[in-house]
Amino acid sequence: MEMEMKKLGFGTMRLPVLNQEDPAAVDLEQLQLNYIDWDSPDIQSRQCYEVCRRYGKDVIVMEPVKGGTLAHVPREARDLMEAHAPGMTPASWAVRFAASRAGVIMVLSGMSDYIQPLDNTAYMQDFVPLTEEEEGIVGRAAEIIQSATAISCTSCQYCVEGCPKQIPIPKYFSLYNQYSLFGEKSNSRGYYLNYGGRYGKAGDCIGCRRCEAICPQHLPVVQHMKEIAEVFEPAK
């Protein structure tokens, strides 16, 4: 198998601009990209990556291990990885997933001890992209992680249009699920505050239940809004 040179970054800088008068004329893009956020309706890693590829922009990846959360996956997912490649850590699978995307020229990976740089550089020095089988293993690991979600919302968006408080219900469900899985490392609280500045907050829900009447999954949306508000909104 042909080996490809990849760069493992330990820092970042301002992205180079081809034309200082045109902010859109960037030479490359830095994206949050990992196998959990790949199809996330909030992060939209895949969509952002595909736009970069469409316009021929190189990509620098941040959050390949999602703040360290993909270094500690459920046992079922870890066993899948270990059975295929004994000794390869869950974090290395996450970094390799990011580095295996065409057009990715650097992967920025945060590290908390001196062992981690040794682990990362060991498999990045002579980088081999994920095989088709390994892509399947990563996909299965993502399914295992996501199966533990607290709210089984499909993000159909039917509930959003009729909400009198303009609450982006599916987005808040997704953030709550990420928080339930990964805690504060998910940065869900930060995303929630960002959305809350533009749309209604979960705590603004008036309990009209229009959303529940139209939800194909028959979710108890009003109750979930209360739970989400308790997690993300400071007590008054």
**How far apart are alpha carbons 177 and 183 in whole angstroms?**
9
Q: How many beta carbons lie within 10 A of that of residue 72, not counting itself?
A: 12
Has residue 1 been placed in a domain? Answer: no
Closest CA to 26 of 7, 43, 48, 4: 48
Residues 17 and 97 in one domain: yes
CA triple 192-195-200, angle to 5 deg? 105
**Long-range contacts of 166-169, Cβ-Cβ distance < 8 Å, separation of 24 or more:** 166/199, 166/200, 167/199, 167/200, 167/201, 167/202, 167/204, 167/205, 167/225, 168/195, 168/199, 168/200, 169/211, 169/221, 169/225
Residues 42 and 127 in one domain: yes
What pLDDT is recorded for position 11?
42
Has residue 80 been placed in a domain? Answer: yes
Helical residues (DSSP H) of the chain, grouped into ranges: 45-54, 75-84, 90-99, 115-124, 132-146, 169-182, 188-196, 210-214, 221-232
Residues 103 and 190 in one domain: no
Domain range enclosing 221: 169-232
Dihedral pair phi/psi, residue 113, rounded to 5°: -150, 170
Has residue 2 been placed in a domain? Answer: no
Has residue 17 been placed in a domain? Answer: yes
What pLDDT is recorded for position 72?
81
**Of 90, 112, 146, which residue is a domain's last?**
146
Residues 219 and 177 in one domain: yes
Spatial contact of 44 and 51, defined as CB atoms under 8 Å apart? no
Residues 92 and 26 in one domain: yes
Q: pTM for this one?
A: 0.65
What pLDDT is recorded for position 147?
81
Residues 188 and 135 in one domain: no
The H-or-E segment that residue 31 falls in is strand 28-32
127: helix, strand or coil: coil
Tens of pLDDT along the chain (236 residues) come to: 455 555 544 444 444 455 656 655 667 788 999 999 898 877 789 999 999 899 888 999 998 988 777 888 888 999 999 999 998 999 999 999 999 999 999 998 776 677 777 776 777 778 889 999 999 999 999 999 888 778 878 788 899 988 999 999 999 998 998 888 778 877 889 999 999 999 999 999 999 999 999 998 889 999 999 999 999 998 76
Has residue 153 been placed in a domain? Answer: no
In eight-state DSSP terms, residue 38 is T
What pLDDT is recorded for position 12?
40
Has residue 195 been placed in a domain? Answer: yes
Provide the number of structural domains found in the chain: 2
CA triple 134-137-138, angle to 5 deg? 90
Spatial contact of 128 and 3, defined as CB atoms under 8 Å apart? yes
Residues 36 and 103 in one domain: yes
Has residue 46 been placed in a domain? Answer: yes
Has residue 192 been placed in a domain? Answer: yes
Residues 124 and 228 in one domain: no
Residues 109 and 186 in one domain: no
Residues 175 and 74 in one domain: no
Residues 92 and 209 in one domain: no
**How far apart are alpha carbons 127 and 123 in whole angstroms?**
6
Residues 118 and 180 in one domain: no
